[in-house]
């Protein structure tokens, strides 16, 4: 087991490094940040040259990369081209809001998916099952920005139940969380339904039923508990998707998170901020996946034999 964990950690480090290289090269292909900065001024060739030198962009790309990786290993993600602030502290400042949104989305997804999934499984083939599934599929049939706009217009402008955008208190979390979570809820409900079905057909459930235990007790205590194991794993794996989804939701709801930071940075060609944000986001996803994989390894001993589960 220790060997397995060690190997996974080495792999993860490799992946972080690879992502660093990829993003580093990609951003440098997007154009000259100095030209973007001068867009409304009267740049002279010397001024452009000078600024480029100040930003460290006059070096060959592999040297820039080497310096960047070396700094990164000491926890230094450089400073913003635009503001001179430390990139790491900029990201940390925004990470809280993004994680909050991701958790809100996850919570919404669970709140919807659990009842829908359980009911669909228990009443398999009934009208409840049918409509429950249609409902959860409808949730994934809209682009999430559109869902966000509709929620704002209906619940903020017309019904005035929730604030439309920004972040000034817990009630501001509701609409963005729903827009983010609804998409996941569909997939999650489907998963809960199928794992419930699987469990409900097991021997011990039949045994429990035959003992005369109340049906809902059987469902909650015996079935659900076992059905939740794959669900938890799945949630871990979907965390990345949620984080990715925040990029657009933050834009719609003016949510001050990492997604906004990085979209702004892309439009201003603030290379260190783009690189830092992508690396930190990727790192988070890898970390969550690593934890999921390791805990999965504890739950499911087949993993140790190096079977089919991807590493």
| Residue numbers 266-305 binding other proteins by CB under 8 A | 266-269, 274, 278, 281-283, 285-286, 289
Does 140 participate in binding other proteins (rule CB under 8 A)? yes
Rounded to the nearest whole angstrom, what is the least distance from the CB of residue 23 to other proteins in the complex? 8
Torsion, CA 138, CA 141, CA 145, CA 149, rounded to 10: -40
Tokens standing for 129? Answer: 């099952």
Does 22 participate in binding other proteins (rule CB under 8 A)? yes
Rounded to the nearest whole angstrom, what is the least distance from the CB of residue 174 to other proteins in the complex? 6
Which of 62, 130, 204, 216 is in the footprint of other proteins by CB under 8 A?
Answer: 130
Does 157 participate in binding other proteins (rule CB under 8 A)? yes
Mapped onto helix, strand or coil, the DSSP state of residue 83 is coil
* Alpha-carbon distances of 67 from 19, 21, 73, 121, 131, rounded to whole Å: 16, 12, 10, 55, 57
Rounded to the nearest whole angstrom, what is the least distance from the CB of residue 214 to other proteins in the complex? 23
Query: CA 148: distance to chain centroid?
Result: 17
Binding mask 41-70 for other proteins (x = CB under 8 A): xxxx--x--xx--x----------------
Rounded to the nearest whole angstrom, what is the least distance from the CB of residue 251 to other proteins in the complex? 6
Report how far residue 133's alpha carbon sits from residue 178's, in angstroms, rounded to the nearest whole number.
18
Rounded to the nearest whole angstrom, what is the least distance from the CB of residue 249 to other proteins in the complex? 10
Q: Which of 298, 230, 296 is nearest to 310 (CA)?
A: 296
Does 152 participate in binding other proteins (rule CB under 8 A)? yes
Mark out the alpha helices in 38-167 (DSSP H runs): 45-54, 61-73, 87-122, 127-139, 144-151
Tokens standing for 126? Answer: 């009934």
Number of residues that bind other proteins (CB under 8 A): 121
Does 234 participate in binding other proteins (rule CB under 8 A)? yes
Does 128 participate in binding other proteins (rule CB under 8 A)? no
Rounded to the nearest whole angstrom, what is the least distance from the CB of residue 179 to other proteins in the complex? 10
Tokens standing for 278? Answer: 């992508």
Which of 93, 95, 103, 209 is in the footprint of other proteins by CB under 8 A?
Answer: 93
Report how far residue 247's alpha carbon sits from residue 50's, in angstroms, rounded to the nearest whole number.
34
Select from 56-64, 66-74, 146-154, 218-226 the region that touches other proteins (CB under 8 A). 146-154
Does 178 participate in binding other proteins (rule CB under 8 A)? yes
Q: Which of 214, 236, 240, 261 is nearest to 97 (CA)?
A: 261
Which of 99, 213, 228, 263 is in the footprint of other proteins by CB under 8 A?
Answer: 263
User: Contact, 195 vs 113, CB < 8 A?
Assistant: no
Rounded to the nearest whole angstrom, what is the least distance from the CB of residue 153 to other proteins in the complex? 6
């Amino acid at each position: 087991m220790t060997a397995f964990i060690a190997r996974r950690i080495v792999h993860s480090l490799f992946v972080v490094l690879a992502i660093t290289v990829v993003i580093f090269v990609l951003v440098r292909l997007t154009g000259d940040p100095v030209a973007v900065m001068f867009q409304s001024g009267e740049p002279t060739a010397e001024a452009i040259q000078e600024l480029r030198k100040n930003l460290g962009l006059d070096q060959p790309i592999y040297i820039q990369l080497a310096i960047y990786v070396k700094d990164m290993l000491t926890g230094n993600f450089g400073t913003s081209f635009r503001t001179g602030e430390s990139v790491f502290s900029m990201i940390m400042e925004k990470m809280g809001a993004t994680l909050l949104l991701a958790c809100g989305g996850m919570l919404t997804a669970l709140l919807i998916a659990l009842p829908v999934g359980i009911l669909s499984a228990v009443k398999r083939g009934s009208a409840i099952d049918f409509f429950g599934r249609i409902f959860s599929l409808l949730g994934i049939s809209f682009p999430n920005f559109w869902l966000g706009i509709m929620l704002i217009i209906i619940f903020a402008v017309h019904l005035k139940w929730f604030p439309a955008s920004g972040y000034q208190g817990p009630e501001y979390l509701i609409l963005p969380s729903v827009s983010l979570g609804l998409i996941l809820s569909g997939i999650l409900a489907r998963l809960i339904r199928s794992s419930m079905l699987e469990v409900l057909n097991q021997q011990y459930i039949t045994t429990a039923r035959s003992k005369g235990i109340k049906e809902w007790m059987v469902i909650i205590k015996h079935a659900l508990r076992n059905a939740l194991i794959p669900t938890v794993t799945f949630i871990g794996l979907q965390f990345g998707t949620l984080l990715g989804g925040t990029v657009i939701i933050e834009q719609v709801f003016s949510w001050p998170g990492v997604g906004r930071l990085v979209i702004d940075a892309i439009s201003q060609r603030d290379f260190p901020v783009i690189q830092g944000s992508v690396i930190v986001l990727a790192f988070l996803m890898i970390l969550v996946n690593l934890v999921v994989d390791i805990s999965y390894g504890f739950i499911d001993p087949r993993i140790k034999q190096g079977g089919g589960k991807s590493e």
